[in-house]
Structures are given as C-alpha cells and as structure tokens.
Structure 1
Amino acid sequence: MEMGYKQKVQQRKLVLKMMERSVIFFDIDGTLLNHDKKLPASTKEAVFTLKEQGHEVAIATGRAPFMYEELRKELDINTYVSYNGQYVVLNGEVLDTNPLSIPALLKLTETALVNDHPVVYMDHEDMRANVPEHSYIKESIKSLKIDHFPAHDPHYYEERDIFQTLLFCPEGEEKQYEEVFQDFDFIRWHPVSCDVVPKGGSKWRGIEKIVEKLGIPKERQYAFGDGLNDIEMLSMIHHGVAMGNGEEEVKAVAKYVTKSVEEDGILHGLKMVGLL
C-alpha cells in the first residue's frame, strides 16, 4: 500500500515536471562558441543543468550537421536545426527536410561562374565546391575553424538533396542574385560568403516543426542568437535572447539582450529569463 502511494507521488511529480518543461534553442557561432570557436565552461555547465532539470535543449544553426558533431557529443544534444531550418532532427531522428530547387540552383551556378563567384553544394553528409580552389572559399571556411574543407566536385548536386549552398561574393554583390533568383533567400554570414536557402527557409521554420512535435507551449519556448540569420528566430519565438556581441539588428528584435559570449552571456541570459 505504501509503495503504491509513493509511486503515485513520484509519477505525479514527473508529470508536473514534464508540464513545466521548456525548450531552449542555441545558435552556435558567437552564441555557444566564442570568437575563438571555444565553448565557455560556464555555457557547458549551464546546458547540462538545463538538461538535468528536464528541459529540452536544442541547437539552431546555419551550419551543416557534419560541422558540429563534436559539439553535439560534448553537450549530449540530439535535437537540432541545421542549414537555417532546412534539415531538422528531433532526438536523433530526421523530422523534416527542405531541399533547394535544383533547376534554380543550376541557373544560379551559371551566373556565379560568369561573375567569378564560386559556390559550394551542401547535403547532410558533406559539401563540394564547383571550382578547384578560390581565395573566397579558403578565407570564409577557415574562419569556422573546422576540419572539413570542400573538395572539388561540380556535379555534387546530382542525385542528392542539397539543403544549402554557399555563394562566395563580397558584401553587397549578392543583391544582383536576390533580384533574379526568387526561389532563394540569401543570408550573409561572412564578408565574402552568403548562405543560399529556399525562399522562406529560416531557423524559425525548423523550430516550428520541433515545438509542434514536442507540444511545448509558446510561453516556454526560448532561443539565443547573435547573427543576421537569427533575426526571424528571435523575433518570432516567445522568449528571444540576443547576445551582447550580436548585430544591432538582432538586438533590436529580441525580447532580451544578455552579455557577450566572452562574458558568460549564456549563463547570464538563462538567469535573466528565469531558467536558472
């Protein structure tokens, strides 16, 4: 009789805990990782504390899945939004994908070749460049401080889904592509590189798929970010937190602004919103 009562109490506590569960999405560069691409100790500890409390912790990034495998392992995170919302995984299982239009991508590539603007095709496993080498590719990929570098394969788009393409061109020159290629959105992430995603594709699109599946109400949805590709995410989610090192346009749409990633901004922000 006593054991049955205790089990009921424990079960009720578990149900209450699940009812209070929140979901928190973190961008990577400039948010989880500092400018040296290092994970601050305070951030790692904060993430594990959230997980111990029963919250769902996820990543929302413009990066490819293969670009942050080690980070996912280090933080024990199995739910993530890659390619700015085009490849969505929930608890290790692919939940949703949104590939680029191949005919439109080929036309984009043709125009880019004329302008000496290389492109890199990316699927969920790897990436390949349409030219053997280019200074823009070296400069921007090097800034990510990752082991992967795109080999040359101009036909990589064939017989596979391409979820994001990198267009390498100086700032402002993407405007000519935006005017012509209406199937795509162009999101700058580096002085000589833009993410090319399907029109309307964004981190928020991927997040919506996850929160709908999890059934967590909007009042318990949080996101942290710093870059231009975080604007829609932070403006649409109920609790949007911009990093202190973030772009001014990002801070303008966020509900909260925390300290910079170099100043334990994740820990400070989680305390600010009442999660820690």
Structure 2
Amino acid sequence: MAERSVIFFDIDGTLLTHDKKLPALTKEAIFTLKEAGHEVAIATGRAPFMFEDLRKELDIHTYVSYNGQYVVLNGEVIDRNALNLPSLEKLTATALENDHPAVYMDHEDMKANVPEHSYITESMSTLKIGRFPAHNSNYYKDREMYQTLLFCAEGEEKQYERKFEDFDFIRWHPVAVDVIPAGGSKAKGIEKIIEKLGYPRERQYAFGDGLNDREMLSSIYHSVAMGNASDEIKAVAKHVTESVEDDGLYRGLQLVGLL
C-alpha cells in the first residue's frame, strides 16, 4: 500500500466528462483512495455552490475553489482572496462599453450585470449546473467577490489584461474568461492546505486538464495531465494519462502507483 498522500483533482475534464458525467471507475477510485487513508481534495475554478452535489456524492470536504481564491479544509474556510473593488468597478464600466457582460461571484451566489446575453447563456449552459445568474448589477458593491466571469470572444481579453494589472484573466470557454486577483492560482490555494496538513512534496499529487491547472501541475511533485488536455498543459505535467472519456483519472492513479 502506498504511503498516505494528498491528491487534488480538477473537476471539468478531469473528474467529470465533457458531458458532466462522473465515470463509475472514477467514483470507485475516489472511495478506494479514501479507504486507504489518503486525503482527497478538489481544486477547481468553479464556485463552491457549483459543485456541492459532487462533494456530497464523493464525500469530499476539502477543496480549492475559484482558482485558489476560496479555500476550505475539512469544511472550514481557511483562506479567502477577494477581487479589488475599485478595479472591479472600472472593469465593469469598460466591459459595458464593449458590450461584454460580467457575472459577479461570491461564496454563496452569482449575479449578472445585464438581464440577459447570448454569451452568458452559451457558456454557462455547458457547465450543466441547473442554474443561471439572476440580474443584479450592484451585487459586487457590498460583499467580497472572489471571481468574476467576463464574457468576450477569444483574443478580446487582451485589452483587459493590458489595462487591469490587479487581475488575471483565464479563458475557460470561447466566449468566457475567469477574472481572479493577480497572482492567484490553484497552486496558491493548495499551498494553504499543505501548510495545514504538512504532507511532504513527494506525497502530493494533482490531476488536471485546463489552462487554469498550469500552475498546479507545474508545482505539484506528482502531477498528471489528462489525455484531453492541450499540449501546453501536458508539457508542464510530470505524467500524462488517458482522456477523461477513457477513464483517464482511474488509469492515471494506476500510473502513479496510488491504485
């Protein structure tokens, strides 16, 4: 049996298929890891309320959400990193001038700054979470926001990257990008958990496939890129497994000796 380790899993394209299904072998693997005494955690760009059902199904209570901006260990919030409010107000004004809507997100809910927009519908529907953001253009003004979604076509985020140094922009859909505090990442959120749990570097594992997994996969000692990841992401990982559609997570766990 392998030594007890901590393993971080991305959700979309890693735990879940592109149709947002949880493969039977993936679920079996998670519980096998837990029964062996390993610490199993999630590291995602999603909001906490976007994967509550998955956490319950897999009995996982430790997670990095919002690409590292909201971190929970065994059900307790241990780190928060909110967006700069004055900069968010300026970003909102610029985006509205460009007909680029935004969705503001805290740990409990999300609200859009426009009543409706085709980009919001197109991208949010791919998450299959059963909810869309209601309209409240002032939602961000009296609470901490950990991530904002900016809806614009590929390449259009460049103008925002040049203008807003307080934020990082990470594309997750052809018409949508995550806006997070500059320098924030899943890797930074994972550091907060590791500080508490104390697992040595050689007993840390991470699985992912997206652009927002780059820092995580390049910093974690045993990193595994899914077969459906881009070549750019595969290049920074230590191992590459099969596609999520081909039980890549289960096979990846076998590859690194955890199963």
Give the TM-score category using the shorter length.
Answer: over 0.9
| 1:124-143 equivalences in 2 (<5 Å) | 124-143=107-126
Task: Give the structure 2 partner of residue 255 of structure 1.
Answer: 238
| 1:57-76 equivalences in 2 (<5 Å) | 57-76=40-59
The code of the aligned residue for 1:33 comes to L
Task: Give the structure 1 partner of residue 27 of structure 2.
Answer: 44
1:272 matches 2:259: no
The code of the aligned residue for 2:209 comes to D
Task: Give the structure 2 partner of residue 9 of structure 1.
Answer: none
Kept in 2, the 8 Å contact 1:67–1:148? The answer is: no
1:209 matches 2:192: yes
State the number of aligned residues.
Answer: 259
TM-superposition CA deviations, 1:149-187 (whole Å, max 9, x none): 100000001221100000000000000000000000000
Task: Give the structure 2 partner of residue 103 of structure 1.
Answer: 86
Q: Secondary structure at the match of 2:61?
A: coil
1:193 matches 2:173: no
1:144 matches 2:127: yes
Task: Give the structure 1 partner of residue 152 of structure 2.
Answer: 169
Q: Structure 1: where are the runs of 5+ without partners?
A: 1-16
1:118 counterpart (78, 88, 101): 101
Query: RMSD over aligned Cα, in angstroms?
Result: 1.0
2:142 counterpart (159, 165, 173): 159
TM-superposition CA deviations, 1:1-38 (whole Å, max 9, x none): xxxxxxxxxxxxxxxx9x93200000000000001100
Q: Secondary structure at the match of 1:158?
A: helix
Q: Secondary structure at the match of 1:77?
A: coil
2:39 counterpart (56, 75, 86): 56
Deviation at 1:148, TM superposition (A): 1.9
The code of the aligned residue for 1:165 comes to T
Q: Distance in 1 between matches of 2:249 and 2:31?
A: 12
Q: Distance in 2 between matches of 1:218 and 1:259?
A: 24
Q: Distance in 2 between matches of 1:164 and 1:84?
A: 8
Moved more, 176-185 or 19-28: 19-28
Q: Secondary structure at the match of 2:33?
A: helix
The code of the aligned residue for 2:126 comes to S
Deviation at 1:147, TM superposition (A): 1.3
- TM normalised by structure 2 equals 0.99
1:232 matches 2:199: no
Q: Distance in 2 between matches of 1:271 and 1:92?
A: 29
Q: Distance in 2 between matches of 1:203 and 1:250?
A: 14
1:30 matches 2:42: no
Q: Secondary structure at the match of 2:140?
A: coil
TM-superposition CA deviations, 1:222-263 (whole Å, max 9, x none): 000000000110000101100001111110100000000111
Q: Secondary structure at the match of 2:183?
A: coil
The code of the aligned residue for 1:189 comes to W
Q: Distance in 2 between matches of 1:148 and 1:213?
A: 34
